[in-house]
Amino acid sequence: MARDTVKAGVLKADGNKRFQNGDFVGAESLYSKAIIADDTNPSLYTNRAMARLKLSLWDSVIADCQSCLKLNGESMKAHYYLAQAYLELRAFDDAVTHASRAREICALTNDKSLAQVTTLVLRCKRDRWEDAEKKRKRAHKELEEDVLRTMRREKADSLAALDDSTATDGDRRQVAEEWDAKMEQLGRVFEAARSDEDKRREVPEWAIDDITFAFMVDPVITVSGQSYERASIMEHLRRQPTDPLTREPLRPSDLRPNLALRKACEEFLDQNGWAVDW
């Protein structure tokens, strides 16, 4: 196990400078050299993951974050970068899991990135829902086409059967019209189901944070009974330790998680991922 912390520290500092100047290739290579010098420092892996995120090297980001998590399972950054890489790779469940874990760590450690990470959780959930929706709609469309194809075949078969009999032109027209009416009816049923989905798009007030107007992920309740997103009320309390509604003194330790509301928000969002962009 390599452990030259001094050399690694110098390389890391140089890498940070390159990163700040936008030279992500240079930064990535310096972080790699730092890891060769000291492969026991978890932050070297997350720094390289951050550079690799900029370079769109998603698989390498995942590898770095996993190396970091082996050394420190509670690394907020590792979970945060992992979520972003998984999101790019369209591995939505993994993205949601790691973004949520990063957010929990932020909340526990009073990390200033809480708002940013909360936004990522919402983005992951929205993208996961959109993906499921797209698949569901495609399946819906395919079903409609399958049924229509079968009906068209049935219609042709019925007409062919009439050819061998003593049926008149009038009989033939009647059979054709019956099938056409059925197919039109089917189209209307599918269409009605589609427009129904768009009609239901209204976000309930109880799910909205009164400070950012965003959908809530981790609502916390104040002494006066009002709930806010944890990230926004914390941001406000850092500036001014008062209840936004009553202006009574309010400390972060007075906040309590609102578990029932949190559950309701989660359930609503799972069914209505569009609400993130409302």
Partner 1 sequence: MSLGTKRLGKELAKISKSLPPGITLVKADDLQEWLLDIQVLDQNPIYAGETYRLKFRFGKQYPIEPPEVVFTKQENRPIPMHPHIYSNGIICLDLLGSSGWSPVQNVESVCMSIQSMLTGNTKNHRPEGDADFVSTNKARPKDIEFYYHDNEV
Contact residues for partner 1, defined by CB under 8 A? 115, 210-214, 232, 235-236, 239-240, 242, 244-245, 247
Q: Given the complex with partner 1, which of 100 and 227 has the nearer CB atom? A: 227
Tokens of 216: 């809530």
Count other Cβ atoms within 10 Å, centred on residue 275. 22
Tokens of 37: 């010098």
Count other Cβ atoms within 10 Å, centred on residue 73. 12
Minimum gap (Å) between residue 230 Cβ and partner 1: 14
* Cα separation, 234 vs 237, whole angstroms: 5
Minimum gap (Å) between residue 115 Cβ and partner 1: 7
CB 248 within 8 A of CB 226: no
Minimum gap (Å) between residue 203 Cβ and partner 1: 10
3-state per-residue secondary structure call for 143-173: HHHHHHHHHHHHHHHHHHHHHCCCCCHHHHH
Q: Given the complex with partner 1, which of 210 and 254 has the nearer CB atom? A: 210
Minimum gap (Å) between residue 187 Cβ and partner 1: 35
Q: Given the complex with partner 1, which of 43 and 212 has the nearer CB atom? A: 212
Q: Given the complex with partner 1, which of 45 and 215 has the nearer CB atom? A: 215
